[in-house]
Amino acid sequence: MFDLIIKGDRVVTPHGTGSYEIGVKDGRIAALGGPVGLSGAGAGEAGRVVDARGRIVMPGSIDPHVHCAWPIPSRDGSSHILSGRPPEVSRAALFGGTTTLIDFAPWNPGETLSESIARRDRDWAGQCHCDYAYHLMLQGEVPEAVLTELGEKIEAGYPTVKIFTTDITPSRRGRMIRFGDIWEIFKVVAARGGLAVIHAEDNDIVMHMYDRLIGEDRVGFEHLAEVHNALSEELSFRRVIRLAENVPGTALYMMHTSAASGVEAIGASRARGFPIYGETLHQYLMFSAADYRKPNGQIYHTYPSLKSKADQSSLWEGMRTGAIHSVATDEICCTLAVKTQGVRIDDTTGGNAGVEPRLSVMYTQMVSERGWPLERFVALTTTNAAKIMGLYPRKGALAVGADADITVLDPTPRTVRAEDLHEADYSPWEGQAVTAWPSMTILRGKVVVEDGEFRGEPSDGRYLERRIPNTVREGTISD
């Protein structure tokens, strides 16, 4: 007997989309029956049967790029407050059909990576409603002892390593890692089976543009795309990619790709046979630099920056052609007052409150607006991230043996309203029409959201140790 059976006629599985019955037992998918349903012992018997016909049934979604309890600098950079914490962000994620979040464990100079991870565990353990993991985040000058420890951590289930090629803004010195040091990190990542996840901007160009625009007294945030510009993305992507291509065994994941030049750099590298993957954000797929001029235009901003409509078109094209593999949020949840506190190119708050509407907004854009197959939507929002980040097939698949993380989307049109969401007092997507919304989210067999009612506990989430498969490190994410 199953704990739960879900019957659907648009169930997205690795074998295709169609009529299936999913049998859940002890938190896992124990059986998957074809069009005629489950057969054999226990078929038709369950603690509960959910009829999801007429709806879309997909694996619980994965957001591979969020920042919870993250320091948001004050306008002058002298102090900070923390962004939304794991309990509230994970709750919003589940309301939005996302069952796994990947955040960051930043390493600070003077500490070991074990201490960095332990510090992050204090923010997360027992406080997350969904499953979660961290990318290790290096910054500044990385000592030899930390490089040694990095190899151990990669093998111990922390296989992704975040690297900045820029300080991002003049007041945030210390994040950038110099190229020689990145080279050494890549050697460790390659030798020990990791994946480097990169925030790439050309620091010289970015800081030059800060100086230049401040000198010209054009400091309003509406000029952010001139500072964090497409040329910077081109130069930095190509430089870090060429470095990685010269360290055999390295694989890259380019975070928050925002420009056509970034898409082209990834595509060119893939054409050379290098294992590189592109991430973009639903923010970049929906808004452009022109939106900075709308009222409260900061709410559309995420670093690096929004770019032109042409860049946005390239991101969409890149998802079709295989240069862009996943759509993340770069979530930094805060209030409207904090999001709009900065008004200049050098003090505007980054990140966005987007973890809840991500799936619905992308379903609308991909499936309803562009007519893309459901499988591609699920791949770009969920399955590819699971594969690239070393979670597949435990996560990202409706398949026997996988965790029973299941999202049911109700294809009834509605309008995004911040007041209906669960993370912030504003939404960049306010007033947008969407064509589906999660009506049920299941985490490892437990129904945690049903018809707008939350039934999860902050103790439900589990840390996910990961390992990057060789196929991903060799450049393929197909089965």
Residues that bind Zn ion (CB under 5 A): 330
3-state secondary structure 268-309: HHHHCCCCEEEEEEHHHHHCCHHHHHCCCHHHHCCCCCCCCH
Collapsing DSSP states into helix, strand and coil, what is residue 321? helix
213-223: buried (b, 16+ CB within 10 Å) or exposed (e) per residue? beeeeebebbb
Residue 24 to residue 314: CA distance in whole angstroms: 40
Which of residues 330 and 346 has its CB atom nearest to Zn ion in the complex?
330
Element (H, E) at 448: strand 446-450
What distances in angstroms separate CA 138 from CA 105, 111, 231, one per listed residue?
Answer: 9, 11, 25
Least spacing, CB of residue 23 vs Zn ion, in Å: 38
Which of residues 68 and 386 has its CB atom nearest to Zn ion in the complex?
68
Which of residues 354 and 445 has its CB atom nearest to Zn ion in the complex?
354
Least spacing, CB of residue 256 vs Zn ion, in Å: 7
Please say whether the dihedral angle defined by the alpha carbons of residues 219, 225, 231 and 237, taken in this order, is positive or negative. positive
Least spacing, CB of residue 43 vs Zn ion, in Å: 45
At residue 460, what is the residue type? D
With CB atoms as reference, the residue minimizing the distance to Zn ion is 330
At residue 278, what is the residue type? G
Residue 226 to residue 212: CA distance in whole angstroms: 10
Largest CA distance in the chain: 75
Which of residues 86 and 456 has its CB atom nearest to Zn ion in the complex?
86
Least spacing, CB of residue 424 vs Zn ion, in Å: 17
Residue 75 to residue 78: CA distance in whole angstroms: 8
Q: Which two tokens stand for residue 89?
A: 């962000």
* Inter-residue contact 74 to 334 (CB < 8 Å): no
Which of residues 104 and 316 has its CB atom nearest to Zn ion in the complex?
104
Least spacing, CB of residue 329 vs Zn ion, in Å: 9
Least spacing, CB of residue 4 vs Zn ion, in Å: 35
Residue 232 to residue 204: CA distance in whole angstroms: 9
Which of residues 21 and 330 has its CB atom nearest to Zn ion in the complex?
330
Least spacing, CB of residue 107 vs Zn ion, in Å: 16
Least spacing, CB of residue 282 vs Zn ion, in Å: 14
At residue 92, what is the residue type? A
